[in-house]
Amino acid sequence: MKSHTEYLFFQTPKRREFVNITSDCERILHESGIQEGMMLVSAMHITAGVWVNDNESGILEDAMEFLERLAPKADYRHHRTGEDNGDAHLKNLLVHHQVIIPVTGGRLDLGPWQTIFYAEFDGQRRKRVVVKVMGE
């Protein structure tokens, strides 16, 4: 088995944002030469996540509103440390920080509407995602 690792870097202009990273992941897979295996895509920050969903503006807006209702900007105990991003940590818990995508025939084995997103909940500063492809 072989593996290939790359890092994607982000500094989103907005505090909360979904960034489509499917083409980046496809490029990394192609460069790896792996035909059969798995791709791990993992946010390396506790105020961001990675998820797979439909790239449709309505569902993205609905998802952000849903996350805001479940983890609104509020006065969290975490803020006693001097931070102001307690809601971003909770949104990360809801979205999760990583996904695993099957690789079949040298392609990401995604469903017809599935898209890979970097989910930023405390942006406007440099963050990264690790992409690791493993297989044959």
Among residues 136, 128, 133, 135, the alpha carbon closest in space to that of 19 is found at 128
The predicted model scores a pTM of 0.95
**CATH number for position 76:** 2.60.120.460
Q: For residue range 41-62, what is the model confidence (pLDDT) as tens digits?
A: 999 999 999 999 999 999 999 9
For residue 88, the model assigns a pLDDT of 96
Confidence bin at 22 (pLDDT 50/70/90): very high
Residue type, 34: I
The token duo for 40 is 């791990």
Owning domain of residue 111: 2-135
Among residues 117, 101, 113, the alpha carbon closest in space to that of 22 is found at 117
5/133 Cα distance (integer angstroms):
6
Query: Count of domains in the chain?
Result: 1
